[in-house]
Amino acid sequence: MTHYPHQAGAPDDEFGIAPHTDTSFLTLVAPNDVPGLSIRAQSGKWIEAPAILDAYVVNGGQLLQRWTIDWPVAAVPTRVGPDRPPRYPTTYYTDYMTWY
């Protein structure tokens, strides 16, 4: 969990953390009254992510952008074995969505 405290009166060119892209799969921003995420639009303008009552803001990271839908969705190999079979069979995103 990361927390960047609000900095009242910070100049326009100062940030709690330098502008960056999230390299992970996704980022969850918990609901609260303190802004926690700014999004840079293609125009270059910064937009505060909306705070929605009782809802998380979900930000897709670079890994999510690159993850292909043609990759198998399967149990983690180190978490299954002869005495502990996978709860669900391996599938692919498109196959699962067709089934669903």
The CB-based long-range contact list for 25-28 (8 Å cut-off, 24+ gap) reads 25/60, 25/61, 25/63, 25/64, 25/67, 26/58, 26/59, 26/60, 26/61, 26/64, 27/58, 27/59, 27/61, 28/56, 28/57, 28/58, 28/59
pLDDT digits (tens, 9 = 90+) for 73-89: 999 999 999 999 999 99
pTM of the model: 0.51
Q: Give 2's pLDDT tier (boundaries 50, 70, 90).
A: low
